[in-house]
Amino acid sequence: METIGFIGTGVMGASIVKHLLSSGYKVNVYNRTKSKTDELVDLGAVWKETPKSVAEASELIFTMVGFPEDVKEVYYGENGIFNGVQPDSILVDLTTSKPSLAEEIYQTAKEKGVSSLDAPVSGGDLGARNGTVTTMVGGDEAAFEKVKPVFMTFSGTLELQGPAGSGQHTKMANQIMIAGTMTGLTELLVYAKAAGLNLEKVLKTVGGGSAANWSLQNYGPRILKEDYSAGFFVKHYIKDLGIALAEAEKLGIHLPATENAKRLYDQLKEDGHADDGTQALIKLWWEN
């Protein structure tokens, strides 16, 4: 696969494109806001005017956009991928989206003689920058094996989880776990500060024991620096938790801790922090 298309060059997408370019791939790029591709074009990527034109010029097309409705538009819109895709291409959606939409894209791809994989990633801006994201894949094994070398240019952990939709279901499980670690990290800091402890020492100490986790290690120091820039947007995390809870309802299960995490993040959004990073949850306590 010499020519790759990449649609959606936001916080994580831009870093992934850089890994593809540095690995020697030709990359065609499209983003709704063209200026977000300027640096990538300077590095050798080729700008295309629409998702359709990306698909017409690429053998492997990655998408990484914000919301399921964006995914739908990028694939099914008038200037979408399915109106330009070439035979035997492989489509890979890195967006965290609905399992049902992943299944729909898989079926449409099949009808058009192409393959598709749902492959949401976890690891935030740091993981994307370092090329160590966790990539969770759903789809056919043959397509997965073809794309595997490309996945490995930006993935630290990579696994085929099962048929179409399985990557998205795995990402939901991941986001459910993060709901617990982010609320735990936040309340840990709220409690430690109220008790008059040295917060840096607390993070260092509990991070060396059984309370250690990715959120604490990566977001704890950012909170202490009052760095609320988005490695992962609050608005996108609310979307993910909404999908997870809707899927849980379909499965007939109740997830009260995840429901509470979503309620807290909804409050954060209502307070005007939708474009902050998920570590901004602490603002519900420390804003003033």
Residues annotated as part of the active site:
171
**Integer Cα distance of 171 and 186 in angstroms:** 22
**Integer Cα distance of 273 and 235 in angstroms:** 8
- Residue 139, classed as helix, strand or coil, is coil
**Integer Cα distance of 172 and 150 in angstroms:** 24
Sign of CA dihedral 226, 229, 233, 235: positive
Sign of CA dihedral 226, 227, 231, 235: positive
Q: Is 196 left (phi over 0), alpha (psi -120 to 50) or beta?
A: left
Overall size of the chain counted in residues: 288
Two tokens, residue 110: 């099949």
Q: Which residue in the block uniquely carries the two structure tokens 């959004």?
A: 269
Q: Beta strand pairing status for 133-138 and 121-122?
A: antiparallel
Give the DSSP H/E element, type plus range, for residue 75: helix 68-76
For residue 85, what is the DSSP state?
P
Please check whether residue 285 is in contact with residue 193, taking contact to mean a CB–CB distance below 8 angstroms: no
**Integer Cα distance of 174 and 78 in angstroms:** 33
Report the b/e string of 183-196 with b at 16+ CB within 10 A.
bebbebbeebeeee
**Integer Cα distance of 7 and 48 in angstroms:** 10
